[in-house]
Amino acid sequence: MKKLLIAFLCFAFFQVAAQTSLPIIPAPVKAQTKPGNFTINEKTLIVVHGNTEKKTVDFFNNYLQKYYGFSLKTAAKASKNFISFTTRTFVKAPDKPERYTMEISPVSVQISGDADQGTFYGMQTLIQLLPVEKSAALKIPAATIEDYPRFAYRGAMLDVGRHFFDVSFVKEYIDLLALHKINTFHWHLTEDQGWRIEIKKYPRLTEIGGCRNGTIIGHHPGTGNDGKKYCGYYTQDQIKDVIAYAADRFITIIPEIELPGHSSAAIAAYPQLSCFPDESTKPAKGVVWYGDTTGKQVQQSWGVYEDVYCPSEYTFKFLEDVLDEVIALFPSKYVHIGGDECPKENWKRSAFCQNLIKKKGLKDEHGLQSYFIGRIEKYLNSKGKAIIGWDEILEGGLAPNATVMSWRGEKGGIEAAQQKHNVIMTPGTYAYIDHSQKKNEDSLTIGGYLPLQTAYNYNPIPKELKPDEYHYVLGAQANLWTEYVTNPAKVEYMAFPRLSALCEAFWTPVEKKSWENFKQRVTQQFKRYDRWGITYYPGLNEPVK
């Protein structure tokens, strides 16, 4: 009996050791190492059976070329020294299209996805098994892996309104997301401080709304103003190019067109969008303004502004026209329509809004916001699209088919799921990677504190939900607002390693997660970040929140 127990304990120990020794982030569902290794060298062939795995082969070969200086030839078959990428075929669509299995032996690596994205994720796992050192012979451990994500929605948001990031950096960021098996890039394209997407019918949006005359220096309200004109926007051709680039990496891009708040840049371009078109833009209190102070202006500091879209027919026609161009560009099922932080002061003092509230039998200005969002939802639904909105869209009653993005903690997400609406969890406490990641952050951040371990510990299913409500949680997302993120290196520094921690919250089953084990794997990941040439915060021991 004792012997049996010892044998069992040894077996259990080796099971755990075998499961935890592979440096894969996010940790796979099942992984078992085996004796021996497979070695990739210049003679290794990639076996593919058709064209369906082309995206996977291209990503892998580009990666090998970039970081190891060689790439592999493809073949229809091989008997040894090969990597095969296969996508299974099913009579009906597979339940888990992102699932893959992987068999690594001394003679081959065989990766099979349940759909193309599964095969792609198997390849991403293979990348993580490559040694980080550059060499002509890349030894990887023999293993058997089966893996699939916990959540179908695994997102990362980048705000390009406060600071603009050019196409080449956006593509680099998308590559980093793909390397973490993130499948959604939420592109926050419009803000008080800049409108960043070309709309052909309304050229002033980018001519006027795409530039601000200056930016505050330091923390809001700032110690002054840099007085530098700050401009940037993406042409529609650039947007199409980025969408295709992301699609090659199985990443869907969801555009965000903010309404009714955070719209000073659009109002600067088309003042009739405001309920008070003749009033000059008010800078925030204490802000040093640069340049013209008359008329409507693009904001030069951060925060929340009272001059929001007026719910007039002019505005709805404008938004429908804008959305027509947006949906013609983005194949995504969803359009994010914002909905957060919309002050109601202007609607309260507008005779037009007060009449509209009466005419439509609405309760108050929150009801008016719901009317606004509801109309936009109806329009987008009629075009075959669905809306996502920040959790304020709950306040005057949810639009019938809306998905809620819960950011002010988990409360909005819980409430929406209880109302049988889909939810994406992005609570500030766990998922706001614009917050400081150490107690004494020496670079400027918006404030807040989100250390790595707290991000790692995140579980997107709130404990308040009942099991039959879990399925409303589509997944979760990391948000990177860029008030204090002015350049690509700072984006990387804020994102990493916290995005590596969060992607595990999005992908790995809770029972497979272990902070101690993640710490070891992320240490290996730091070496990979070094190979990728990205900036990151290397601390692992900041106290949890």
In the complex, minimum distance from the CB of residue 172 to ligand ACM, in angstroms, rounded to a whole number: 24
* Nearest to ligand ACM of 207, 341 (CB atom): 341
In the complex, minimum distance from the CB of residue 353 to ligand ACM, in angstroms, rounded to a whole number: 23
CB atoms within 10 A of CB 535: 15
In the complex, minimum distance from the CB of residue 394 to ligand ACM, in angstroms, rounded to a whole number: 13
* Nearest to ligand ACM of 226, 341 (CB atom): 341
Give the Cα-Cα-Cα angle 215, 225, 210 (nearest 5 degrees).
25
Q: What contacts 537, CB < 8 A, 6 or more positions away?
A: 437, 438, 452, 493, 496, 497
* Nearest to ligand ACM of 148, 390 (CB atom): 390
Of 146, 241, 248, 341, the residue at the interface with ligand ACM (CB under 6 A) is 341
Site string for ligand ACM, 103-142 (x = CB under 6 A): ----------------------------------------
Backbone φ and ψ for 334, nearest 5 degrees, come out as -100, 145
* Nearest to ligand ACM of 269, 424 (CB atom): 424
Name residue 100's beta-bridge partners. 113, 147
Report if residue 340 touches ligand ACM, rule: CB under 6 A.
yes
* Nearest to ligand ACM of 121, 407 (CB atom): 407
CA distances from 86 to 15, 97, 278 (A): 28, 13, 63
Q: CB pairs under 8 A, 24+ apart, for 356-365?
A: 356/311, 362/396, 363/396, 364/396
Are 148 and 176 in contact by the 8 Å Cβ rule? The answer is no
In the complex, minimum distance from the CB of residue 395 to ligand ACM, in angstroms, rounded to a whole number: 14
Residue with tokens 């004109």: 229
* Nearest to ligand ACM of 103, 341 (CB atom): 341
* Nearest to ligand ACM of 407, 456 (CB atom): 407
Backbone φ and ψ for 523, nearest 5 degrees, come out as -65, -40
* Nearest to ligand ACM of 241, 340 (CB atom): 340
3-state helix, strand, coil in the chain (%, to 5): 35, 20, 45
Closest CA to 318 of 377, 266, 240, 373: 266
Report if residue 484 touches ligand ACM, rule: CB under 6 A.
no
In the complex, minimum distance from the CB of residue 436 to ligand ACM, in angstroms, rounded to a whole number: 16
Are 86 and 113 in contact by the 8 Å Cβ rule? The answer is yes
In the complex, minimum distance from the CB of residue 435 to ligand ACM, in angstroms, rounded to a whole number: 11
Of 38, 407, 456, 458, the residue at the interface with ligand ACM (CB under 6 A) is 407
Closest CA to 271 of 242, 238, 294: 294
In the complex, minimum distance from the CB of residue 340 to ligand ACM, in angstroms, rounded to a whole number: 4
Site string for ligand ACM, 442-481 (x = CB under 6 A): ----------------------------------------
In the complex, minimum distance from the CB of residue 446 to ligand ACM, in angstroms, rounded to a whole number: 10
Count of positions on this chain that bind ligand ACM (CB under 6 A): 4
Of 390, 484, 507, 532, the residue at the interface with ligand ACM (CB under 6 A) is 390
Q: What contacts 205, CB < 8 A, 6 or more positions away?
A: 195, 197, 198, 199, 265, 266, 269, 270, 322
Strand order in the sheet with 45-47: 30-40, 138-147, 100-104, 108-113, 82-87, 45-47, 73-75
Amino acid type, 204: R
In the complex, minimum distance from the CB of residue 507 to ligand ACM, in angstroms, rounded to a whole number: 24
User: Helices 351-359 and 365-382 meet at what angle, rounded to 10?
Assistant: 70
Cis peptide before 343 (omega within 30 of 0): no
Closest CA to 459 of 512, 517, 526: 512
Q: How far apart are alpha carbons 28 and 18 in whole angstroms?
A: 12
* Nearest to ligand ACM of 159, 175 (CB atom): 159
* Nearest to ligand ACM of 407, 472 (CB atom): 407
Cis peptide before 271 (omega within 30 of 0): no
In the complex, minimum distance from the CB of residue 284 to ligand ACM, in angstroms, rounded to a whole number: 16
In the complex, minimum distance from the CB of residue 301 to ligand ACM, in angstroms, rounded to a whole number: 15
* Nearest to ligand ACM of 256, 492 (CB atom): 256
* Nearest to ligand ACM of 175, 191 (CB atom): 191
In the complex, minimum distance from the CB of residue 396 to ligand ACM, in angstroms, rounded to a whole number: 17
Task: Using CB under 6 A, list all residues that contact ligand ACM.
Answer: 340-341, 390, 407
